[in-house]
Chain A
Amino acid sequence: MGLDFSVVPAFYDRLLLGALWTIAITLSAAVLSFFGGILFAVIALYAPAIIRLPFKAFAWLFMGTPLLLQLFLIYFGLIEIGVDLPAFVAGVIGLGLHYAVYNSDIIQAGILAVDKGQYEGARTLGLSQFQTIRKIVIPQAVRAVIPPIGNNMIALLKDSALVSVIGVTELTLTSQLAISKTFRPFEFYIAAAVCYYVINLGLEAVLRRIEHKIQEAR
């Protein structure tokens, strides 16, 4: 059986829809992982031990196990405790939590790198600890760590292919459905790879612009 890429265009609209779902799941999970990362970083650095220690155990478990295993846990685990979420939501939560833990590590380093005088100055001026962290420390810390967080988002885009295994009809699962109709795996997986590559280039361009803007604002 030779190669015949002429079967691909017939599925053009479906692949495009799959690509849009991939973008949607990546962006949703990226937003969740960004704000989740900030929240986790604040918990890891400032929360009382009774919250901090269980959280650290959770972070350690999430950093030491494969994303695929975590997706199974979230998808089937939520059903087990009686919460039946759509696969898309389970996928966003799984990807978002996984990368929130990684982002939290980076943001913690960013927070620790903010000059201590900033914190002391803000407190002296009468800001509460919460205000100081939210308005003075976090904005500076996050701005400094945007490039490594951007790298995580690029990794997140590629890992979004994994949610096909819990039944989200994004790009990977869409290609699998096309393959089950045409029996042409090589052609459709190459087509999917090309789509991912193009989305990846787009995401990189957006991230570069954001980094550039932040550099200018400094």
Chain B
Amino acid sequence: MDFGLILRVYPYFLQAAVVTIQLSVLSIALGLACGSLGAAARLSRSKILRVVGASYVSVIRGTPALIQIFILYFGGPQVGIQLNAFEAGVIGLGINIGAYMTETIRGAIISVDKGQTEASRTLGMSRLQTMRKVILPQAARLMIRPLGVNINAQIKGTALVASISVVELTYTAQRYIGSTYKPFEMFFLAGAIYIVIIYVTGLGISFLDRKAALK
């Protein structure tokens, strides 16, 4: 293990880690938005919306994220969508994780006891009120852990945009493997940074989960 080399190159890896964190935060925010809309569509009374929601989940989960990012970045210009690599990465990753989050959010909502809905409706609350005041506060608690699993996967998933030349951690590691021929050193350096990011995020999610738990 060449520690001198690691000490020389680590500042570049830290800069790249900032890009990985930006990609993660933005794509997770977009994913949560897509996931909430997707779950709302899948649970809607309109059959069209239900079909749209189900197709979104099925198509996105049925094809590789890498291909989705390629369609957006390389195929986009053909249909009038011009994005730079970072934007294509954020949007592609966000739409992708949104499909998984749709199922997580929907799962949490339908696992709230049906009697709660019936009781609220009987008490004269509208469908919207029932959802907003009774179901969602309970479902929100249930979805923190499984969304944490999605978020953990997404942080590692940001590595995919290395293939469209976004200078994030994996791209940087790949470039330094190419120029130094030291794959193990570069792997451990990039790997250590990923593990720190994931560990800190995990702590945040556990904290939220404890805060949200019913006392």
The count of chain B contact residues (Cβ–Cβ below 8 Å) is 39
Tell me if B101 is interfacial: C-beta within 8 Å of chain A.
no
B79 contacts partner chain A, Cβ-Cβ < 8 Å: yes
A 58-71 to B, binary, CB cutoff 8 A, 1 in contact else 0: 00110011111110
If over half of A's interface residues share one DSSP class (helix, strand or loop), that class is named, otherwise mixed; here it is helix
Inter-chain contact A179/B68, CB cutoff 8 Å: no
The residues in B between 50 and 109 inclusive whose CB is less than 8 angstroms from any CB of A are: 59, 62-68, 70-71, 74-79
Please tell me which one of the listed residues B59, B169, B194 contacts residue A197 in the complex, with CB atoms under 8 A apart.
Answer: B59
Contact partner, A69, options B77, B173, B181, Cβ 8 Å = B173
Please report the C-alpha to C-alpha distance between residue A73 and residue B177 in the assembled complex, in whole angstroms: 9
Interface size on A, residues (CB 8 A): 38
Whether A196 touches B64, Cβ cut-off 8 Å, given contacts A68-B159, A68-B170, is yes
- Tell me whether B41 is interfacial, beta carbon within 8 Å: no
Shortest Cβ distance from A184 into B: residue? B78
- A193 and B181 CA atoms in complex are apart in Å by 34
A-B contacts, 20 of them at CB < 8 A, read: A60-B195, A61-B195, A64-B191, A64-B195, A64-B199, A65-B187, A65-B190, A65-B194, A65-B195, A67-B159, A68-B162, A68-B163, A69-B191, A77-B183, A158-B65, A161-B67, A179-B74, A187-B75, A189-B71, A197-B59
The chain A residues found within 8 Å of chain B, CB to CB, are: 1-3, 60-61, 64-70, 72-73, 76-77, 80, 158-162, 164-165, 172, 179, 184-187, 189-190, 192-193, 196-197, 200-201
